[in-house]
């Protein structure tokens, strides 16, 4: 099944250098940049090691979602996290529609990359993987991604992947206020970026 999107994928581009999203040539605020600039992400606990771990896990999990992972290529330091994701897919029966999907909102001018979206028990589910304990702002992050998908009734959740191969799927984030808070964060981040000298 194809997802209905609120943007034209042909107009969205991403540059790894500087982690820059653009839409129709216009720069976008990223989902995480918006939340960070609004003071909602506490980066105190982020270390270079945790960032690298997250990057490697997301990369490997992407191949798990596509059933194309070469396990011999997986760094032993992240294998437990990747096994946790694989276990979730097998145990839940989630039907993956898209993974590592770059999204944008043409009206609010933000973009990001959602981890996973698929069908589970007849409902569309948007999942963000975390290798650290999920924080409260995860509900806002998933709201941002959901705003770019033109589908009703998306369950937004976080999947906490643990080093020992276990996982924990959060309850669905149901607070509709998440969308307004996220939009406010985007507006604040855009203003800060445009008015910094």
What's the average model confidence in pLDDT over 122-127? 94
Q: What is the gyration radius of the CA atoms in the chain, in angstroms? A: 16
pTM here?
A: 0.92
What's the average model confidence in pLDDT over 181-191? 93
- pLDDT, residue 2, reads 74
Q: Say yes or no to pLDDT of 172 above 70.
A: yes
Q: Say yes or no to pLDDT of 152 above 90.
A: no
Q: Tell me the domains of the chain and their CATH numbers.
A: 9-195 (3.40.1350.10)
- pLDDT, residue 45, reads 65
Q: Say yes or no to pLDDT of 139 above 90.
A: yes
- What are the phi and psi torsion angles at 2 (to 5°)? -85, 145
- pLDDT, residue 182, reads 96
Residue pLDDT, tens place only, 5-20 = 999 999 999 998 888 9
C-alpha torsion sign, points 43, 46, 52, 53: negative
Q: Which residues contact 139 (CB under 8 A, 6 or more apart)?
A: 156, 173, 175, 178
C-alpha torsion sign, points 8, 10, 103, 192: negative
- pLDDT, residue 89, reads 96
Helix (H) or strand (E) holding 61: helix 48-65
Q: Are 70 and 83 in contact (CB under 8 A)?
A: no
């Amino acid at each position: 099944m194809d997802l209905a999107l609120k943007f034209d994928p042909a107009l969205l581009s991403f540059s790894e250098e500087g982690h820059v999203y653009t839409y129709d040539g216009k720069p976008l605020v990223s989902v995480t940049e918006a939340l960070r600039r609004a003071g909602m992400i506490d980066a105190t606990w982020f270390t270079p090691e945790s960032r690298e771990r997250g990057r490697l896990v997301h990369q490997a999990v992407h191949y798990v979602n596509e059933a194309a992972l070469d396990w011999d290529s997986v760094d032993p330091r992240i294998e437990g996290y990747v096994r946790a994701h694989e276990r979730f897919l097998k145990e839940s029966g989630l039907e993956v529609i898209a993974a590592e999907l770059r999204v944008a909102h043409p009206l609010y001018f933000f973009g990001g990359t959602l981890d996973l979206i698929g069908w589970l028990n007849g409902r569309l589910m948007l999942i963000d993987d975390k290798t650290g304990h999920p924080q409260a702002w995860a509900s806002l992050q998933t709201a941002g991604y959901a705003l770019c998908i033109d589908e009703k009734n998306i369950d937004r959740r976080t999947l906490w992947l643990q080093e020992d191969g276990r996982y924990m799927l959060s309850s669905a984030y149901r607070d509709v206020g998440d969308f307004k808070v996220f939009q406010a964060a985007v507006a604040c981040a855009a203003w800060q970026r445009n008015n910094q000298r």
